[in-house]
Amino acid sequence: MTDHTLSFINNRRVRDVFWQVAVWAAVVGLIAYFVRNASDNMAKAGIASGFDFLGRTSGIELPFLLTGYTSQSSILDLLWAGVVNTITVALVAIGAATLLGFALGIARLSRNWLLSSLAGFYVEVVRNIPVLFFVLFWYFAVIAALPGPREAIGIFAVAFLSNRGLTVPTPQASEAFAVAALVSIVCVVAQIAISAWARRRRDRTGRGFPLWTSGALLVAGVPLLAFAAAIAATPWDIPVLRGFNYRGGFVLIPEFVALVAALATYAAAFIAEIVRGGILAVPKGQLEAARALGLGNGQVLRLVVIPQALRVMVPPLTSQYLNVLKNSSLGAAIGFPELMNVFVGSALNITGQAVEIIAITLAIYLVIGLAVSALMNWYNAKVALVTQ
């Protein structure tokens, strides 16, 4: 071998290219081998390929629907109904888990020994048990053990929780809500405009503006009032007990209630730890400095602790929210018609086209997951430390 060839094969860039090509060639070769086997096997078993099956009539009844799907709809509509159910259950569970998790996390930091120990106990118990356990436990042990519709637990006499699920009232018109939503949007825009104006004025003249008061009024107060008015103005279909079951309203089936409860109680333990860690991560000197500047307790919390704690909390919260989304697939274990259940369960049974169905399912979870993390990354960039 001449010196020239030696220096060529020892050249770093040449070697880099070689290894990349080699790895990719191996991967592509392996995939090609798998694809050939798969097409052989499927041809032998007489399984069709392609995505034509999406247009076929599904013939499946779904017990929980938010879309206009019927058993005469296409499999594509079935898929969409599953996606909507997955997103609904994940959003409701994320909201509940966040509330419960923040409450637990703050309780764990309480000076009150009993309260903080109880919260700690909850976290230690829940974190060391599988999430599927919670799903099954809530469904088979808690919801199934609730009283029947005749002895249902009433919630303000408008919603009823029983072993048939949670029956909630439904609005019969949506105009008032549209008006309330419009009012809320106008208020939020106004608050954004006011805060921009206030910042400019503060920079120019040094005069402050009670932004928090106007914010509380415009972002929370007025919209709340608007929606309260809308609720009062809209005729409601309130469930009424007729014979052995409720008439009217919308039934959140037991599977839905159990899944939301399980996902929320499970994720709350992890969120509590994130909240605790985030607040503890704010250096003590920051608190002391804020007090030395004469800030009150509320101001210390609002201006010093929360902004810095959020910065630490957002990345792990993102992965917890993604976990809730992923764990919503466990609805398949109790028969809640979410994406995994209707698609990998029912649609696969009708068509037998495993490859396409798995590919579509994975792609949908990927898209939803990336959307959630993009949203959280955007929020993270907003709260992140801006250094000079």
Partner 1 sequence: MTTRLGSLLRFSRRRLFATPLDTVITLVCCWGLARLVEPLARWVVIDTTFRGTTRADCTGAGACWVFVRARLGQFIYGFYPVDQRWRVDLVAVLLIACAALLAVKRLPHRGALAAELIVVMPPVVLFLFYGGFGLLLVETRDWGGLMLTLFIAIYAGLLAVPLGIVLALGRQSRLPAIRTLAVMFIEPIIAVIFLASLILPLIVPSGIGVDRLARAVIGLALVIAAYMAEAVRGGLQAIPKGQYEAATALGLRYPATTVLIVLPQALRIALPAMTNEFIALLKNTSLVLIVSILDLLGVAQAALADPAWVGMTLEAYVFAGTIYWLLCFALSRASLRLERRAALR
Our finding on whether 375 is near partner 1 (CB under 8 A) is: no
Under the binding rule (CB under 8 A), the answer on residue 207 touching partner 1 is no
Give the integer Cα–Cα distance in Å for 44 and 46. 5
Site string for partner 1, 28-67 (x = CB under 8 A): ------xx-xx-xxx-x-----------------------
Among 6, 9, 14, 27, binds partner 1 (CB under 8 A): 27
Interface segment toward partner 1; rule CB under 8 A; list 132-140, 163-171, 214-222, 229-237: 132-140
Q: Shortest CA distance to 160 belongs to which of 76, 242, 56, 283?
A: 242
250, two tokens: 């919308």
Hey, what amino acid is at 141?
A: A
Among the listed residues 257, 266, 265, 261, the one whose alpha carbon sits nearest the alpha carbon of residue 130:
266
Q: Are 1 and 9 in contact (CB under 8 A)?
A: no
Task: Please name the residues in contact with 280: beta carbons below 8 A apart, sequence gap of 6 or more.
Answer: 109
Q: Which is nearer to partner 1, 56 or 326 (CB)?
A: 326
Please identify which residue in 265, 318, 327, 351 interacts with partner 1, judged by CB under 8 A.
327
CA distances to 17, 34, 110, 191, 300 from 287, in Å: 54, 60, 16, 29, 7
301 binds partner 1 (CB under 8 A): no
Asked if residue 224 binds partner 1 (CB under 8 A), the reply is: no
CB-nearer residue toward partner 1: 226 or 267: 267
Contact status: 349 vs partner 1 (CB under 8 A): no
Q: Tell me if 156 contacts partner 1 by CB under 8 A.
A: no
Residue matched to tokens 């920079």? 203
* Tokens representing residue 93 in the block: 């569970």
Q: Which of 100, 252, 312, 344 binds partner 1 (CB under 8 A)?
A: 344
Place of tokens 């206009």: 68
**Cα separation, 187 vs 217, whole angstroms:** 9
Residue ranges in contact with partner 1 by CB under 8 A: 16, 19-20, 23-24, 27, 34-35, 37-38, 40-42, 44, 110-115, 118, 124-125, 127-133, 136-137, 140-141, 144-145, 322, 325-330, 332-333, 340, 344, 348, 354-355, 358, 361-362, 365-366, 369-370, 373
